[in-house]
Amino acid sequence: MAFLVSNTMTSPALMVLLCCFLLIANGAHQSEACYGTNQKLQSLQVSAPANQPYLTSYHFRPPQNWINDPNGPMHYKGVYHLFYQYNPLGPLFGDKMIWAHSVSYDLINWIHLSHALCPSGPYDINSCWSGSVTILPGDKPFILYTGIDASGQQVQNLAMPENLSDPLLKDWVKFSGNPVMTPPNGVKDDMFRDPTTAWQAPDGRWRVVVGGQIDNEGMAFVYWSWDFIHWTKLDHPLYSVQETGMWECPDFFPVSINGTIGVDTSVLNPGVKHVLKTSLFSDKHDYYVLGTYDPQMDIFSPDTDFHGNSNDLRYDYGKFYASKTFFDSAKNRRVLWAWANESDSTQDDIDKGWSGVQTVPRAIWLDKSGKQLVQWPVEEIETLRGKQVSIHDKELGSGSIVEVSGITASQVDVEIDFELPELEEAELFDPAWVDPQQLCNDKNASIQGRFGPFGLLILATEDLTEKTAIFFRIFKGQNKYVVLMCSDHSRSSLKEDLDKTTYGAFVDIDPHHGKVSLRSLVDHSIVESFAARGKTCITTRVYPKVAVENEAHLFAFNNGTQSVVISSLNAWNMNQARLSEEESFKL
């Protein structure tokens, strides 16, 4: 295979194209495991039972078995691609993880293709772990991924499509010179993984970040390359923090300081800030910091220090991990994916035959304040909306509960705006309350306050013996009002052996000068909630015993002593997304 090279291309781009040619022509090879044993792997899959009350209807998932990290999402020649960590052998994490591959036109309805990367060579024989896609000049996507080699060492490998004219990119080949990066001196063999999407700096060289740890100092290693094959480690990390442990699945990208428009990963100008995200292995949360990237020094300087605790910014304050963004050139937005792990037992997962879903893809941008990011479900999710019910200008007195009837409450999209009266009577906020999750535990939905708890009761039984409460409390601080958002699972299910952690976060809004808004996407066993139009997000996994399918109910409630008003509530039945096999996909 040969490529036509434009005379107008820059020298680095020309070098990249020549290397692409060399990669295909001089020894790149297809993964035999993906093809030679694929039928065997399929035959070992666990069949999911027919009765599946917790199986999602519009969240991305494979038909069965285990999934975790989203890998290499991209938009390529009119098609969205999502790769993801998958165990084809069963519903638990395995020691032969692969890159599964699905495609879509709209980020909502998906076609499952044949697996993209499977263990095959000495550099990834024990698993193909997470990584990213970078689209090089000339629309040439490259995968950088972590392989677990024959000795158990984590190394970084390279792959590219076998046929660039195929918009589905069904077949991938691995570079015969893999690995292209190995653990540097001082880094343990199992603490060097998850390369990011690369960016091209003003000097023409490519940079990529790899997550790691030295002693207990978490860090983002930086490597550079002219040709995307030969990589050199910088002497210093992009950024590091003591006592934060292993940094998994790092992400590094620019966001515009004006507006919601996304920008390509290589954009560098005065109109952007940079985001550095890390998934902390120690507590399984995704943290991020905003700051400035210096391309000459290859240093990231955060606006505020990162500590890896409850005072730091997170994408999501619930069951949300190993996230990955990509620049969607089709709609000029940055899109965020993440893994929502289960909260039931291992035996439950075995019985179900599956484990894990991806969150709904979210558009992500910089808030007008410049101090945090904002997330909102991609607009395409609204194409699944069906029957709508509404409530307007409804006062909720103390102890009020109002059912939102006429919808399928186990599969619903609900948006609600609350108006509050004068807040002078709000409870006083104690400055010692620095951990919002603990505060939500101490002041759960059954504990009456003044302004709050008020919000939604989701996946509830008619008699409220089961309910997941998503709610707010308003406190009066020294200089401002404090808004607390909680997701209370303490009574979410009558089943035992479940993780019923209650999650919480503060919301950076002034309730005295506007409405308090909440949106919740409910899909059988997952609830994604967005406060203040996406300033604060909490994702949860719930497994009611009784409140399933048509037995689930949705309520608005107020358990505070002070009245609040529902200025607007709109709820929509959500139709099922199409998740099908390759044979049904027509270009």
Answer yes or no: are the C-beta atoms of 258 and 271 closer than 8 Å. yes
Q: Which residues contact 361 (CB under 8 A, 6 or more apart)?
A: 107, 335, 336, 337, 377, 378
Indicate if 69 belongs to the active site. yes
Helix (H) or strand (E) holding 16: helix 11-25
Q: What is the DSSP letter of 384?
A: G
Residues 6+ apart with CB under 8 A from 583: none
Asked whether the CA dihedral 426, 432, 437, 441 is positive or negative, the reply is negative
Distance between CA atoms of 369 and 525, rounded to whole angstroms? 34
DSSP 33: H
Are 287 and 280 spatial neighbours (Cβ–Cβ below 8 Å)? yes
Neighbour count for residue 40 (Cβ, 10 Å): 11
Which residue is associated with the tokens 């409220």? 464
Is-contact 246 211, C-beta < 8 A? yes
Q: What are 362's two structure tokens?
A: 């979210």
Tokens of 386: 């069906």
Q: CA-CA distance, 3 to 17, in Å (whole number)?
A: 7
Contact 560, 450 (CB under 8 A): yes
In whole angstroms, what is the distance from residue 16 CA to residue 22 CA? 10
**Sequence-ordered strand ranges (E) for 226-312:** 232-233, 239-241, 247-256, 272-280, 285-294, 299-302
Spatial strand order of the sheet with 526-531 comes to 385-396, 564-574, 411-419, 516-523, 526-531, 536-541
Given the residues 69, 149, 316, 349, select the one marked as catalytic: 69
Length of the chain: 587
Tell me the catalytic residues: 69
